[in-house]
Amino acid sequence: MDFLNALVALSNFVIIPAIAYGSQLALGALGVTLIYGILRFSNFAHGDTMAFGAMIGVLVTWFLQSMGVSFGPLPTALLALPFAILGTMALVLITDRVVYRFYREQKAKPVILVIVSMGVMFIMNGLVRFIIGPNDQKFADGERFIISVREFKALTGLKEGLAIKTTQGITVVVAIIAVALLFWFLNRTRTGKSMRAYSDNEDLALLSGINPERVVMYTWLIVAALATTAGVLYGLDKSFKPFVYFQLLLPIFASAIVGGLGSPLGAIAGGFVIAFSEVTITYAWKKVLKYMLPESLEPSSLVQLLSTDYKFAVSFVILIVVLLFKPTGLFKGKSV
Amino acid sequence: MIWGILASLAVPILGVFAAGSVGFVTAIVEVALAWTYWHGARTKNEALTNFALFGIVAVLILATGFSQSWNVAVLILNMGLISAIMALGVNLQWGFAGLFNVGVMGFVALGGLAVVLTSAAPVEGAWSAGGWRIVIALLAGAGTIVATVMVRQRMAAGRARNIATIAILVVGFFLYRGIFDPGVAAVEAINPALQGNLGGLNLPVLLAWPMGGLLAAGVAWLIGKTALGLRSDYLAIATLGIAEIIIAVMKNEDWLARGVKNVVGLDRPVPYEIDLQNSSTFINRAEGLGMDVATASSLFVKLNYSILFAVVLAIIFVMAQLALKSPWGRMMRAIRDNEVAAEAMGKDVTNRHLQIFVIGSAVCGIAGAMMTTLDGQLTPGTYNPLRYTFLIWVMVIVGGSGNNLGAVLGGFLIWFLWVQVEPMGLWLMEVITSGMAEDSGLKKHLIDSAAHMRLLTMGVILLLVLRFSPRGLIPEK
């Protein structure tokens, strides 16, 4: 029985990756949930909005790198992030003006807007592939590890090593800052309050003189910022590949729905629920159990409940279970 | 009106491009057809507009034959027929009943799986090595789920029930893995370079098409039982997830159909080119027509497929039309338009939804089986939701949801564009970049990226139709 080593192994392979992944999912799910709360439809183009934002991030990073600009030990992509956010903001505002506004004025049914967002998804997907191509792109630079396995072992003298990648650390820090800013905005500013009012009761909000177009515009701006941040962080942590962002749509929606569509707090909780379940269920527990169990009980197999290829299945099963038992999600969401 | 003008402008341009040398004739025919459409639309003559629309698609495909090659044209026709069937399946669910199924890809893939399971030769020794073990394991897994559901239904809510549920699930899972894993290992150990799977039943491949429908229907029933109570948005996400899971299973369960190692050389319902090329009667006939034997044989094979597919499409189309016009179809549309009112009239909404979800998915499964037969191989790695789910949706919306004829038209038209936008994009890029320097990096990038124009185009078409002709080219009556 070796509790400390087990804990380190668990942190290294489960807790830290899940926290980083959960933060990325939470940022993505916040965007989905805000659109659902204010504009009242499920935005299928969200994954591709993230891809677009990340793509601008990659391009600006490359440009900065070629100019010799660097951010010291931190990845240059962080410097590129504001530009990427501005670019994505422009894109979503144009999309809203050209595409979505028409249906808003028509008071189209939500499901029509979902189909419209499918069209936007095609266009954004095509745009990203057109500009940067469908292949993997690397753009992370700077220091690779905050603490590497070797340093950790030397520091503590434990048998198991613990590595924290810089990108994981940055992901968590940036996510915390983004969420804090978002909640400050929603709860403290006038525009934020009017957004919440509009989301809670559209008619009452209109009656008290809230300008709906302004609310919608701010929503898109925030969503663009969140989606780009999530996209750049995910790209830094894993790598940038347009199709992967499209596939992220499923866990992101699962997070938003599990948390309760329309509830920002729920989106964050949902993101971590999905991330932790995915990682724990697809992790081979042999290493941790080896330390926890007496030698006679040591497992011979990998003790992996599901192979990693089935991680979609995990988010999906959680989604179904939550919906069956709590149809509006963990934090009371809304339904249109 | 706007749509009519757009169409009459766009179609001749398409025609000129698709035809090249015979472009002039094509353009004139297309203009005439576009005018017919416009005229029909103005005088509200439905037969005329439909004739014109299908005529436009037919001329586009013919023009491809004249200008590019007949092989390409017949290939477009064949995939168009399959796409039309898929679009009919989605139209049943969305157009008739308003069910938002974005898991089409999963059912198409299941149809493909059925081809392997039905028509492939059984792998020698696989069943005795571990096949039965796998079946028993799957039964044990199913039994666990049934037991869990029973416990939850029969026992009173409370801590005892929760403990029982968890106990059954945990014990069942380890039991399942305990039986399953050795069986899989044994099956996958058999000649892994070429086989390593259970193989199929060695039945005629045409039988695989209805089997594909049945397999898709069975899975759809299971899904429908759990997910159909959900609201439309949730159902969309749920079906999206199920499709991904089906593909994940097909990619990773090598014992089933070799996973990403693919199954190649599937049986065909039509003769092989090589046999035709060696048959003296065929050679004589080809020479009689003044055709090269190799081209003639490949065309002959493709046309055989076209006939088979057309027969299937005709059967499904007639059945869908009959269903639409029957009291059952009217009830479906009533449920779609107002669920609460239909329920108040005593209609069983949940069961009707389940019914049409299963039927529509079965149609997609049949189309998937046909496609795998046409390809002659099952490659789970190539299934992509943009191509197999969302493109089908574009077909339905553009063609006209709720109208079977519209779905068929959308299937042909969108498939034609999906194939031809790539060369068109390349041509466009070459025109745009013609003024640039030969070694310009931008020029190279633009020409290399032309292949991605098709996604962009599909999005633009979908948005344009939704905006200016939201009921599609052939609207519901």
Ordered by start, the domain boundaries in chain B are 1-68, 69-120+202-477, 123-198
ipTM of predicted complex = 0.91
Distances (CA, A) of B206 to A298, B313, B370, B373: 52, 14, 9, 9
According to the per-residue pLDDT averaged within each range, which of A264-268, B97-101, B214-218, B235-239 is highest? B214-218
Which pLDDT tens digit goes with each residue over B106-144?
999 999 999 999 998 888 888 888 888 999 999 999 999
Flag whether residue B428 sits within 8 Å of chain A, measured between CB atoms: no
Residue B1: what pLDDT? Answer: 46
The Cα A222–Cα A38 span in angstroms is 12
Contacts of A115 in chain B (CB under 8 A): 393, 397, 462, 466
User: What is the average pLDDT across B156-164?
Assistant: 87
The Cα B412–Cα B420 span in angstroms is 12
Tell me the average pLDDT of chain A. Answer: 89
Supply the CATH classification number for the domain A3-249: 1.10.3470
User: What is the average pLDDT across A242-252?
Assistant: 90
Is the model's pLDDT at A47 over the cut of 50?
A: yes
- Pair of tokens at residue A208: 């008290």
Interior angle at CA A232, CA A228 and CA A238, nearest 5: 145
- Three-state secondary-structure class, residue B346: coil
pLDDT tier for residue A98 given thresholds of 50, 70 and 90:
very high
- Pair of tokens at residue A80: 């590129």
Residue B121: what pLDDT? Answer: 87
Which pLDDT tens digit goes with each residue over A121-162?
999 999 999 999 888 988 888 888 888 888 888 888 888 888
Flag whether residue A299 sits within 8 Å of chain B, measured between CB atoms: no
CB proximity under 8 Å: A 189-248 to B: 243, 246-247
Sign of the torsion formed by the C-alpha atoms of A226, A232, A238 and A244:
positive
Length of chain B: 477
**Burial of A156 per CB tally in 10 Å (0-12, 13-18, 19+):** middle
**pTM for this prediction:** 0.92
Distance from chain centroid for Cα B75: 15
Tell me the average pLDDT of chain B. Answer: 88
Residue with tokens 């990659």: A58
Closest by Cα among A202, A282, A213, A222 to A17: A282
Flag whether residue A255 sits within 8 Å of chain B, measured between CB atoms: no
Which pLDDT tens digit goes with each residue over B52-86?
999 999 999 998 888 888 999 999 999 999 999 99
Contacts of B232 in chain A (CB under 8 A): 110-111, 114
Cβ separation A312–B241 shorter than 8 A: yes
pLDDT tier for residue B15 given thresholds of 50, 70 and 90:
low
Residue B14: what pLDDT? Answer: 59
User: What is the average pLDDT across B91-96?
Assistant: 94
The Cα A41–Cα A35 span in angstroms is 7
Q: Kindly state the percentage of chain B with pLDDT values over 90.
A: 51
User: What is the average pLDDT across A303-331?
Assistant: 81
Flag whether residue A324 sits within 8 Å of chain B, measured between CB atoms: yes
Which pLDDT tens digit goes with each residue over B341-400?
999 999 999 999 999 999 999 999 999 999 999 999 999 999 999 999 999 999 999 999
User: What is the average pLDDT across B257-263?
Assistant: 88
Contacts of B237 in chain A (CB under 8 A): 42, 250, 253-254, 257, 319
The Cα A249–Cα A31 span in angstroms is 11
Say which residues have a Cβ less than 8 Å from residue A165's Cβ, sequence separation at least 6.
A20, A144, A145, A146, A237
The Cα B157–Cα B140 span in angstroms is 25
Phi and psi angles of residue A155, each rounded to the nearest 5 degrees, phi first:
-70, -40
pLDDT tier for residue B95 given thresholds of 50, 70 and 90:
very high
Residue, of B9 and B436, whose pLDDT is higher: B436
Report the residue of chain A nearest B239, measured CA to CA: A316
Residue of B455, B464, B469 best to disrupt the A interface, most CBs of A under 10 A: B455
Phi and psi angles of residue A136, each rounded to the nearest 5 degrees, phi first:
-65, 135
Say which residues have a Cβ less than 8 Å from residue A107's Cβ, sequence separation at least 6.
none
Distances (CA, A) of A304 to A273, A308, B177, B241, B251: 19, 9, 11, 22, 18
Positions of E strands within B153-307 = none
pLDDT tier for residue A103 given thresholds of 50, 70 and 90:
very high
Distance from CA of A263 to the nearest CA of B (A): 16
Of B100, B245, B397, the CB nearest to A313: B245
Of A115, A307, A323, the CB nearest to B466: A115
Contacts of B240 in chain A (CB under 8 A): 249-250, 253
Cβ separation A126–B462 shorter than 8 A: no
Residue B87: what pLDDT? Answer: 97
Dihedral angle computed from the Cα positions of residues B205, B206, B208 and B211, in that order, rounded to the nearest 10 degrees: -160
pLDDT tier for residue A87 given thresholds of 50, 70 and 90:
very high
pLDDT tier for residue B8 given thresholds of 50, 70 and 90:
low
Q: Kindly state the percentage of chain A with pLDDT values over 70.
A: 98
- Pair of tokens at residue B225: 């039982």
Distances (CA, A) of B83 to A237, B395, B414, B419, B450: 39, 8, 9, 12, 24
The Cα B48–Cα A317 span in angstroms is 50
DSSP string covering A89-117:
HHHHHHHIIIIIHHHHHHT--HHHHHHHH
Residue, of A283 and B12, whose pLDDT is higher: A283
Residue with tokens 């003298």: A157
Side-chain half-sphere exposure of B218, counting CA atoms within 13 A: 8
The Cα A167–Cα A320 span in angstroms is 32
**Burial of B158 per CB tally in 10 Å (0-12, 13-18, 19+):** exposed
Flag whether residue B227 sits within 8 Å of chain A, measured between CB atoms: yes
User: What is the average pLDDT across A309-322?
Assistant: 83
User: What is the average pLDDT across A241-267?
Assistant: 90
Flag whether residue A309 sits within 8 Å of chain B, measured between CB atoms: yes
Q: How many CB pairs under 8 A join A and B?
A: 126
Cβ separation A250–B449 shorter than 8 A: no
Residue A145: what pLDDT? Answer: 87
Flag whether residue A69 sits within 8 Å of chain B, measured between CB atoms: no
